[in-house]
Amino acid sequence: MKTRKLVVLVSAWVLAFLLATTVAAAPTLTFKFTTVNVPGAIATALGGINNNGVIVGQYEDKSSLLHCFMLVGKKVTTINYPKVASDQCVHINSAGAIVGGAKISDTVSIGFVYQNGKFTNIPGPKGAISSVAYGINDSGVVVGTYSVTLTKPQAFILKGKTYTTIDPPGTESFAIATGINNAGDVVITYGTSDGIQSALYNGKTYTTINVPGAANSFADDINSAGDIVYETLNSSGTQAEGYLLQAGKFYQVNYPKSADTAATGLNDKSELVGYYQTTSISGPDQGFKATY
């Protein structure tokens, strides 16, 4: 199950200064992990968690079809975008509005917001032919990525009905706005000549927020306190690790005895979610929740 956001929703569907941050040599945070899988699924990948503890993500069924889902307590609700082969829920806000993307064809997707049983399309600005909605805050501001030519996806912010394209310095191959908090701070993952990098955008300026020493940094979500969760990949793309940035320090978030881990979403109550593999980066994915 290839649920890496970059692979599924960008490739297939589609320098400021470095923060004075360090990878914590000796972790001072304690993470308590719980496996969270959809019953009967071949694979499960969690994307986001809101302040009410509601989790969203994607699972693969026994027919190898991918489905968006919501988990409330122990109740799993499958959310199928009409008439598509597969879809994915990425994040959810405190009001229960879910953002994601639905696969229209091998190269085209449509972003959406799902709330109270209704889908609202997020197609991207005028001229866009493919889009994915990745993040939403409690004010309903949506962020994501869109493509006009399928060759260079661009990041967007949608406030009301107005789209704003955001483009970190040095972007070459793609840009994805992956998360937004209630202050309007946006995390972006983008491709450069030096690999995949991450930036924080506050509405005016971009600040590089790469995990120190990582060949590729994917910032996936940001909460109200400014905590950020990541997935990193080595230069060959064969080893993934999860990270949490909190109060200027990076902490590894690796599921115990896993081969690979990605931290993909977090809330304001010291809870984060993601997925891991026990054997290799190719899967099958298993979901997890961690408190810290």
Between 4-18, 54-68, 86-100, the lowest mean confidence (pLDDT) is in 4-18
Q: Which two tokens stand for residue 267?
A: 């809330």
Residue 109 confidence (pLDDT) above 60: yes
Asked whether residue 64 is domain-assigned, the answer is yes
Asked whether residue 289 is domain-assigned, the answer is no
Asked whether residue 288 is domain-assigned, the answer is no
Tell me how many domains the chain contains.
Answer: 1
Asked whether residue 169 is domain-assigned, the answer is yes
Asked whether residue 135 is domain-assigned, the answer is yes
Q: Which two tokens stand for residue 134?
A: 């990745």
Q: What is the DSSP letter of 18?
A: B
Q: pLDDT tens digit string along 168-194?
A: 999 999 999 999 999 999 999 999 999
62 or 11, which is more confident: 62
Residue 13 confidence (pLDDT) above 80: no
CATH number of residue 246's parent domain: 2.120.10.30
- The β-bridge relationship of strands 195-201 and 186-192 is antiparallel
Q: pLDDT tens digit string along 194-230?
A: 999 999 999 999 999 999 999 999 999 999 999 999 9
Phi, psi at 190, each rounded to 5°: -150, 155
Structure confidence at residue 255 (pLDDT)? 97
Q: pLDDT tens digit string along 143-166?
A: 999 999 978 999 999 999 999 999
Give the residue numbers spanning the domain of 170: 5-14+33-282
Asked whether residue 88 is domain-assigned, the answer is yes
Reference 166, options 204, 196, 136, 211; nearest CA is 204
Between 42-46, 84-88, 94-98, 244-248, the lowest mean confidence (pLDDT) is in 84-88
Q: How far apart are CA 216 and CA 207, in angstroms?
A: 16
Position 6 confidence tier, pLDDT thresholds 50, 70, 90: very low
Average pLDDT over residues 54-70: 96
Residue 94 and residue 52 in contact, taking contact as beta carbons nearer than 8 Å: yes
Q: How far apart are CA 238 and CA 5, in angstroms?
A: 15
Asked whether residue 287 is domain-assigned, the answer is no
Phi, psi at 8, each rounded to 5°: -75, -50
Asked whether residue 37 is domain-assigned, the answer is yes
Position 16 confidence tier, pLDDT thresholds 50, 70, 90: very low
